[in-house]
Chains A and B, each alone.
Chain A
Amino acid sequence: VTDAGLAALLPATVAVPITGAILAPLAAKISRRLPLVIGVISMVATTVLLALPARRVFSGTILVHYLGHVRPTDGHELGVTFAADPFGLGFALLTAGLGAILLLYTLSELRALGARELGGYACLYQLLLAALIGSALTADLFDLFVWFEVAALASFGLTGFFLERPHSLEAALKIVVLTTMAGFGIFIAAALIYSGHGALNFGQIHVALAARTKTADLIALALLVWGFGTKAGLMPFHGWLADAHTACPGPVSALFSGLMVNLGVFALARLALQVYGPAGRPVLGLLMVLGCGSAVVGAVLALGQDNLKRVLAYDTVSQMGVLIVGFSTHALPAVTGATYHLINHAVFKALLFLCAGSIVHATGLEKLSEMGGLARHRPVVAGAFVIGVLAIAGVPPLNGYASLGMIHDELHRSHPVAYVALLVAQVVTIAAMSRATYLAFFRRRERPYDDLDRLHPGMLVAFGALAAACIGFGLIPNLLIDHVAAPAASSLLGGSHYPAGLLNGGGHVAVPLVSFDYFSPAELLTVLGTVIAGLAVATWYVRRAGEPSLMVNLRALHTGSVNDYAAYSTAGLVIATAALALAH
């Protein structure tokens, strides 16, 4: 098959899930579970369609398809363009594959819901997945905005899925307000860039910015940081994240945390490194600050939560910070590590949220203080949860070890302050996760649980597949580093290779060799040190009565009012804009 033939398949990878989304509510009229079956089939088909060009793309080819054959003339391109580079295709494949597993899990867990609910659920779920794949493969700023909004609309519906519960509505209100503000920022940024350069295609924007960068372009970049930073849940734009993850069903939290927030990180990496490139260099410092802040604040907040899903949600804020720090180093090993960690985080966080969701679903309990002793009642879930926690903690041979190690190594060399911040965040993260594991699973509980629903086969398959991925990606890390993460990082840092490819109907990026020393004593000692320190902090926190004043103050800032969250977000935008405009 020729490159052009493979590229022509790219629009189909979005069309298939959208078709599935349209069919799902109709299928609900025939059979209650049919919508979810359609969802699983459409996501498996999408994964296969994305896997076809994978070999070519991960060996360094950039595939470009101009919809309706509207080709660039004189370096101008305003048509709808789909392009697959290693970075985008990696994210798209992850989305489709994980989406299939999560829909299979839903089919098993939420089987008791009514036909209308399951139809709507399968529709919105596939729509969100389609939007994520579209964002990964688009080569146009305005299309990226449209995909962002499609993802946003689908996420509003999924957040408020339990319409009869006040908490779901409250969470939906917060995500609607903050995400709509973010979408407005992206729209204005696209308008600023178009009015300044007449360009919307990433390649054309890159060329125009390389020739001349105006202050308006950096203000547009600040707006983009605001917009996608909100989606990524970066502090101070993260007000919606914990509530949305808490209120929705488990598989939806897994989708949000594993894939949707990654859209923000993905788009920031693409815009800052590939599209703006040298013109946007000042933004890397800003992202480094936002990333370190999110990593530490998210971890501390996770430690203080009593709600199991909120622990995981605030940990997502922390992990997104780590990813952003990795990408903003602009160094090949760390960007490779960040890409690899993005994949790893999606896998282990999806696993953890499925575990948490299955417990909430089976027991009706959400609070850690009411749980306990679940290791005896739910050994499979406990095992899966512990694997996820060990992966987050970066314990070898699980998958978090290599990816965190690659980010930490580079920071140790070039950014000592960020290195310390991430180590602190890592210690507190380990403390938060081990505290939650102890309280939910291993603490003695006096009262027995009411009869717990048994685990259904689809749930076991999902737990097994994700846990196996955590272990497998860790045991053979070179598979992902050499064939996915390193080419993706090379595409991100490859200067004008990707932008030029977009305007030339295809191109190539180099496939570098990135090595990581698995048995280096420094790495192993760092892990050992952070784990011991984390366990010590967890023990101290579980034993002490009452919260430390830092925690009280930090939690008091999260007032729960969407007005306050919007104010924080806007203040963050003002600071980001000022920082970038002054840096110009």
Chain B
Amino acid sequence: VADPVLQNFCLTAIVIGIAATAVFLSIVVRLAQHYRSLDSDDIRGMRG
């Protein structure tokens, strides 16, 4: 029998991962509009 804890483990991680990816992508869309670039090396207004 598969370990239900491990399945619960992975499902939770997937759900959290989807949420984080959604936030990440929405930020990337906005960044692309502002900076006209998808290279994260170009996005460095704050440094030091």
- Which residues of A does B touch, CB under 8 Å? 78, 142, 146, 149, 152-153, 156-157, 160, 163, 166-167, 169-173, 176-177, 180, 183, 187, 190-191, 194, 200, 242-243, 246-247, 301, 304-305, 555-556, 558-563
Contacts and interface: CB of A to CB of B under 8 A. Distances in A.
B31 A169 contact: yes
Nearest to B16: A149
B37 to A, nearest CB: 12
A170 B20 CA distance: 16
Interface of B: 5-6, 9, 12-13, 16, 19-20, 23-24, 27-28, 30-31, 34-35, 40-41, 43-48
B16 A169 contact: no
A176 B44 contact: no
Given A172-B27, A176-B23, A558 B5 contact: no
Please indicate which of the listed interface residues B27, B41, B43 has the most CB atoms of chain A within 10 Å of its own CB.
Answer: B27
Contact of A176 (B9, B24, B34): B24
Contacts of A152: 20
Given A153-B20, A156-B23, A156-B27, 18 more contacts: A142-B12, A149-B16, A153-B16, A153-B19, A156-B20, A166-B34, A169-B27, A170-B31, A173-B28, A173-B31, A183-B20, A243-B46, A247-B46, A301-B48, A304-B48, A560-B44, A562-B43, A563-B41
Contacts of B41: 561, 563
Given A194-B5, A194-B9, A173 B43 contact: yes
A558 B35 CA distance: 20
Contact of B34 (A142, A169, A563): A169
Contacts of A180: 20, 24
Nearest to B4: A78
Contacts of A556: 48
A305 B40 contact: no
Contact of B27 (A167, A176, A559, A561): A176
B9 A191 contact: yes
Contacts of B35: 166
Grouping DSSP codes into helix (H, G, I), strand (E, B) and loop, the A interface class, with mixed when no group exceeds half, is helix
Nearest to A152: B20
Contacts of A301: 48
A172 B5 CA distance: 33
A560 B19 CA distance: 26
B31 A305 contact: no
A149 B46 contact: no
Given A173-B27, A173-B31, A180-B24, A560 B48 contact: yes
Nearest to A566: B40
Contacts of A563: 40-41
Given A166-B34, A169-B31, A170-B31, A153 B23 contact: yes
A539 B6 CA distance: 59
A187 B13 contact: yes
A65 to B, nearest CB: 20
B39 to A, nearest CB: 9
A166 B9 contact: no
A153 B19 CA distance: 8
B23 A157 contact: yes
Contacts of A190: 9
A93 to B, nearest CB: 27
A146 B40 contact: no
Nearest to B21: A180
22 contacts: A146-B12, A146-B16, A149-B16, A152-B20, A156-B23, A156-B27, A157-B23, A170-B31, A170-B44, A170-B46, A173-B40, A176-B23, A177-B24, A183-B20, A191-B9, A194-B5, A194-B6, A247-B46, A560-B45, A560-B47, A560-B48, A561-B40
Contacts of A169: 27, 30-31, 34
